[in-house]
Structure 1
Amino acid sequence: LSLADLDGTASVIGRPLQDLQVYLLDPYLQPVPMGVPGEMYVGGAGVTRGYLNRSELTAQRFISNPFTDNPQARLYKTGDLARYLPNGELEYLGRIDNQVKIRGFRIELPEIEALLTQHPNVWESVVLVREDEPGDKRLVAYAVPHSQTSVTAAQMRQFLETKLPAYMVPNAFVILESLPLTANGKINRRALPAPDLKSQLTQKYVAPQTATEEMLAQIWGQILKVELVGIHDNFFELGGHSLLATKLISKIRNAFQVELSLRELFSASTLIQLSQCIEQLKRQN
């Protein structure tokens, strides 16, 4: 191990042994590009013929190797998520079981966690799906800053927005001094607190002042089910997501007779920014 390994949070597992092959594949069994997460499949001399007296599990885990002409060759489906680093080594990202589906999008939680820990001020992170209100599933990121540093939810959101599609950016960010652990040292996901959006609202609240801001605050309140919306509040930090963003654009079209794109909403996500964007569109019309 090097000092860089000790200071980093990545789980680098090195390179395959000479008599083994490791493939990182997408759900269609196609190799993924370097740096892109994929499920790890192992082939070669070390792969066994299957599980003893468990034919169904063997059929699930041991598949025919599509990368060789040998009809007897098999690949073992590990269920692990990993990616290749530029130096050719493998970085372990977690179990494929941590893949979730929200509003029709399939999301790899370990991929978000791995990217969030690339932020220079983030030491470790956990991302999970919370359903604190029935039927309302939201991505929540928990982050522990490096010692002697600090990080804000806005900074983490902006960082991920440059690296991920909008539907994979968490709806809320919670900053912790440390992640809760179970008795055997694993992260206790059940002990992670719900994001306290109301307290954040109270601390930041500045009342709407123009007619456009007041109308927009009412629309946000209806869509996000919050009572108080200030001009510096962020639509996505209040719980907005891509589906609600589409609904917001429709309501803005009806209320202000302007056509707002999803891209414009993501780049002007606070109430005051969005209000200014609407005013500019009205002048253009």
Structure 2
Amino acid sequence: MKTLKKFLENLANQNVKLWLEGERLRCKAPEGVLTSELQIQLSNRKQEIITFLKQANLNREFKENLIKPIERNGNPPPLSFAQQRLWFIEKMALSSNAYNMPLTLHLVGKLDYVALQKSLNQIIARHEPLRTTFSETNGTPVQIIKPPFELELPLQDLSGLTPSEATTKLQQLLQQENELLFNLEVDPPIRAQLYQLGTTEYILQITLHHIAGDGWSLTVLPKELSAIYTATVFDKPSPLPELPIQYADFAVWQKNYLQGQTLSSQLNYWKEKLLDLPQLQLPTDHPRPAVETFNGAGIPINIPAALTSKIKQLTQKQGTTLFMTLLAAFKVLLSRYSGEESVAVGTPIANRNRSEIEGLIGFFVNSLVMYTDLGGDPSFTEVLNRVKQTALEAYGHQDIPFEKLVEQLQPERSLSQNPLFQVVFAVQESEHMKPSFSLPNLEVELGWERWMGDQMTVRMDLELHLWPVGEEIKGFCAYNTDLFEAETISRMVSHYE
């Protein structure tokens, strides 16, 4: 019996065309070619041919949808949808420092300052977003990609102070650094600052603007820093392979991909799901300011091992994920506090579902609206099933950028709050909270918890961030201090735990 490939080649040579309509195999052949013997063979191999054609269609779609490098012809590339929204917010001067993303590393040991500076410069040369400024041409924002440059790495020596003085001063300096605004039309969206606490103790703070990076990028950056710094210290070339594409290639691809059928099928789902979406009205301690503020604080959360074990058992039994189970509990809490049955929260999704963008530093993260109707006094198992259904549907329609959704749904816009949702829920990978990387002759730890201080910026009314740590679940609840008192949120957190 001929192999399927040979059989199909033979048919093609006789000008027999085969194609799929849904699940049905269609066939067109010149007169006299389809002998009864050939018809029997086709009938016998029908399922095999259908499977082959489906795979071929998938491969073709995959090839057509591959993100390819754009021609660099001097025309500045467009912004991605996510960047456009941030650019608009920045232009309106609405965000203060809410979109600054600090990465704070505590380094103990023998630091090679020159190698560190060289490594940061190599990362900037590798990733275009870190050397991109933004401008407008005829009212349309564009990316201006600059050639590689030498990043300043100022060193501030605090080693003369007593330990308690140094800690206070450091918190002050880190806060000041984080409050410093980027001028996106002029400044590269990355800064770095080194503080020396003792002969062998340093704090490195790298600040990115969100327009050039996201949470995932803050794990790519230290991993690359680790690889390049190690190579530089040992006088070896960088071991990192060349990047297949750059962020600008993604921005152009995204504009072309999200059109026609792809766009309409994704949009139709969201339009139906979020039609007349009610705003979640949580009772606040203070009236909402006319213009949204970003002043925040955080309250730690700790779900002990015994309870975590029960949550995991329930998750397994119900065939859900940890994210779904924790979200279902949070939605019940929000419903009780607000007295509302319709609960929508936003959840960030990495949006890195293509291998070619996994290693890039850039702003890919997308927000999904998780909307669940809790009407009819459901049991928790029923709530969990509803949340599971919502989450699976949302993941199936995750390609549509949140910004495009807002543009199409046109919810009532207000300077006082985020459109579509004001509460965020996220379960992070523990890797994202503590990226694993090392530097030669140095002990490294992510210092954000230790040096965070009381103040933080928040972009929403309320944000619940959780991540598994060993047998427990840890996290924090960030809240807008212009809306809520610490006491209110502590009470809410204790009800959640």
Give the TM-score normalised by the residue count of structure 2. 0.16
Structure with the bigger percentage of helix: 2
Which structure carries more relative contact order (alpha carbon 8 Å, separation 6+)? 2
Give the TM-score normalised by the residue count of structure 1. 0.25
Q: Which has the larger radius of gyration?
A: 2
